[in-house]
Amino acid sequence: MALNKKIAYINLTDGTVETKPIPIEMRKKFLGGRGLDAYLLYNNIEAGVDPLGPDNALLVSAGILVGTLASASARTHIAAKSPLTGYLGSTNMGGFFAPELRFAGFDHLVIKGKAEKPSYLWIHNGNIEIRDASKIWGKGVRDTQEIIREELGDRNIKAVTIGLAGENLVRYANVMTEIKNSGGRTGMGAIFGSKNLKAIAVRGTMDIKIEHPVEALEYDKKIISQITAAKVSQEQGRLGTLFIWGATNSQGLVRTRNFQLNQLENSDDIEPEAFEDSAFGMTGCFGCQVHCRAKYIIPDGDYKGVYDEGPEYTSLGAFASLPGCTDLTTVLVGNYLVNDYGMDTLEIGSMISWAMELYEKGILTDKDTDGLDLSFGNEKAVIEMVHRIAHRKGLGDILAEGPLRAAKKIGKDSIKYQVHVKGMSNLQSDERPTPALALGIATASRGSDHLRSRPAIDLYHLPEPVLRQIYSQPVAYDGPLTSNYIDYEGKSWQVFWQEQCYMAVDSLGICKYHTIFLGPNFPNFEEWSKLLYYNTGLELSPLDIWNIAESANNMERLFNLREGLTRKDDWLVDRYFDEPTKLGIPLIRNRTIDRDKLTKMIDEFYEFHGWDENGIPRPETLKRLGIDKEPSHLL
């Protein structure tokens, strides 16, 4: 049968491993990946555990459609209590790891305890072994994977690993696979480090059975054609996500010089097309035809000749617009360093540019920076700070702690200049002109984030009938919907719908670029229902999948509430309300978010969820979804 992959409980303290089948009832309730992880997290962690202590549970999983003929079904999900926010820790990444995990016989790993000495896991055709990691501890991301392959004598091994940042417990360390696939946000790499776990290596030759192979092949072909025919996919396949930076910066939607401007001027040298000269083709994740990663060689400077992949929108933001730089090589080098150290490029860009604003304001001085000139636009200082944060040297040690802890250590009114939600830094986009996007980051379950509920297509000013077609299925919606992205009306429903959509893809294991994220005509609930049937035999209607996403979103909410989250955490920093945008096209200039209108949006957003005015799920909501007796410890 198709759904025969197992769950393994691994205790690093005493070295025990227990494997179990995953009952079909659990699949019908939470699918896999992020959905089932939401359940497992709530059931395997006690309230109030130290995120960096042995009692935190680290979950690694594959979505239920990973490695099947569902286009771009390559996603690995990793979850734990976050050392950055103290709330939900959660990250979703592409690459080749999750399919290989399934070829090796597993869908979900629950890792607890702490290894006595640096270790890594070796998972091979149903077997799990805890091995000595002394040869790879201290190594960068790419060397670690190469050494593991050499040690185990198999070139085809796939691994997730941490770099120096994870070992040094940088609170926004990533888990990485291959050259640049990043499990970023919420510091899951630090959880690996805290458990003395350097890497998880997998390799398998076990089948992923396709229940209806002929139909699955033809349906995959149809969906691939639908996706690759879209202009947005073609642009992405040529320039990667850099194209988003170019499109949004030209309007004035890019956070610049920390949060002082909303557009990087004089950007000719770092427009997406400028990167094509250093690139020599594109690469992609398992089974994906969009191929959104550029392969490039650093053209000059200290790292001349080094191969890397990307950079993405976030690295262009982190190493150009946020610190006010316009040097292409700095972006490429910064991208390479965060990939090899294994650090969240988004978080580090935000932390460094925040420090730059503090330096400009005189809150940080040369004494604090050990003589480093942290002026905006100083490219060398940006790169130097990346090293110092990864190694936790000087000011880097403070910035490695993330927004809230760093602001507490620096003191004065440094917190005033922070741009975060729930203690996690905001993306490099500027949401002051776009209420829908602002609501999304204010309420996202893992802290400020664009990959949890952002209705990115809102930026296209789509006609209302098109919006209605998208946003009124698989559940009916006849409330307002508005085309203009500066409006507030109807946007709370779009954010709610996208939250459901993204939970569904994260549980299926499909990339967000293959659903309604950047393209309005992409597959969603209807298509997933068919993909599930053809590939796994599971018969779930579009509405069933919607309900599963709702259950999983509520499990994440319950987790956050249990850790002390309240309504006031679903909110933006004052700068969004008090400092108007200065640049960009006329529509975007002089915009702020209105406090009262945002409050109303949040009220509506909670109401759609069946939550009360404090953002707590009502008992009847939990009962309707069948999650009113959690933790239920069924798996």
Partner 1 sequence: MKKMLVIDYEKCTGCRLCEMVCSVKHEGVVNPARSRITINKWETKGIMVPMVCSQCEEAPCLAVCPTNARIRDEETGRVIVNYDRCIGCKTCVVACPFGAVSFDPVANRIISCDLCDGDPQCSRFCETGAIRYVDASDANKMRQREAAEKLYESMQKMDMASIS
Amino acid in the structure at residue 508: L
CB of 274 to partner 1, least distance (A): 20
Does 209 interact with partner 1 (rule: CB under 8 A)? Answer: yes
Does 299 interact with partner 1 (rule: CB under 8 A)? Answer: no
Cα separation, 446 vs 14, in Å, equals 31
Distance, C-alpha 356 to centroid of its chain: 25
Q: Is 78 helix (H, G, I), strand (E, B) or coil?
A: strand
Give a three-class secondary structure readout of 439-507. HHHHHCCCCCCCCCCCCHHHHHCCCHHHHHHHHCCCCCCCCCCCCCCCCCCCHHHHHHHHHHHHHHHHH
Mark 433-472 with x for binding to partner 1 (rule: CB under 8 A) and - for no binding: ----------------------------------------
Nearer CB in complex with partner 1: 307/373: 307
- Closest by CA position to 91, among listed 161, 186, 162: 186
Does 305 interact with partner 1 (rule: CB under 8 A)? Answer: no
Residue span binding partner 1 (CB under 8 A) among the ranges 141-149, 239-247, 407-415, 492-500: 141-149
Does 257 interact with partner 1 (rule: CB under 8 A)? Answer: no
Of the CA atoms within 13 Å of residue 54, those in its CB half-sphere come to 10
Does 593 interact with partner 1 (rule: CB under 8 A)? Answer: no
Q: Which of 17, 152, 206, 486 binds partner 1 (CB under 8 A)?
A: 206
Dihedral sign, Cα of residue 597, residue 600, residue 605, residue 611: positive
CB of 16 to partner 1, least distance (A): 29
Contact at 8 Å (CB) between 526 and 546? no
CB of 296 to partner 1, least distance (A): 8
Tokens of 414: 């440094």
Cα separation, 475 vs 550, in Å, equals 12
Nearer CB in complex with partner 1: 207/366: 207
Does 474 interact with partner 1 (rule: CB under 8 A)? Answer: no
Contact at 8 Å (CB) between 141 and 390? no
Dihedral sign, Cα of residue 551, residue 596, residue 494, residue 252: negative
Does 284 interact with partner 1 (rule: CB under 8 A)? Answer: yes
Rg (CA), the chain: 23
Cis peptide before 455 (omega within 30 of 0): no
Does 338 interact with partner 1 (rule: CB under 8 A)? Answer: no
Contact at 8 Å (CB) between 85 and 344? no
Nearer CB in complex with partner 1: 3/565: 3
Tokens of 146: 């190469």
CB of 507 to partner 1, least distance (A): 19
Nearer CB in complex with partner 1: 296/485: 296
- Closest by CA position to 351, among listed 408, 421, 424, 444: 424
Q: For residue 98, how many other CB atoms are within 10 A of its CB?
A: 32
Contact at 8 Å (CB) between 255 and 419? yes
Residue span binding partner 1 (CB under 8 A) among the ranges 138-146, 469-477, 555-563, 581-589: 138-146
Residue span binding partner 1 (CB under 8 A) among the ranges 199-207, 447-455, 467-475, 618-626: 199-207
Nearer CB in complex with partner 1: 533/611: 533
Dihedral sign, Cα of residue 16, residue 20, residue 25, residue 28: positive
CB of 430 to partner 1, least distance (A): 32
- Closest by CA position to 37, among listed 71, 83, 101, 88: 88
Q: Which of 154, 207, 370, 373 binds partner 1 (CB under 8 A)?
A: 207
CB of 220 to partner 1, least distance (A): 8
Does 287 interact with partner 1 (rule: CB under 8 A)? Answer: yes
Contact at 8 Å (CB) between 506 and 79? no
Q: Which residue has the tokens 């957003």?
A: 605
Q: Which of 44, 56, 61, 68 binds partner 1 (CB under 8 A)?
A: 68
Residue span binding partner 1 (CB under 8 A) among the ranges 139-147, 408-416, 505-513, 587-595: 139-147
Residue span binding partner 1 (CB under 8 A) among the ranges 45-53, 288-296, 596-604, 605-613: 288-296
Does 282 interact with partner 1 (rule: CB under 8 A)? Answer: yes
CB of 237 to partner 1, least distance (A): 9
Does 295 interact with partner 1 (rule: CB under 8 A)? Answer: yes
Nearer CB in complex with partner 1: 236/492: 236
Q: Which of 28, 221, 304, 361 binds partner 1 (CB under 8 A)?
A: 221
Instruction: Give the residues lining the site for partner 1 (CB under 8 A).
Output: 67-69, 96, 99, 103, 142, 145-146, 178-179, 205-210, 213, 216-217, 220-221, 224, 228, 280-289, 291, 295, 307, 309
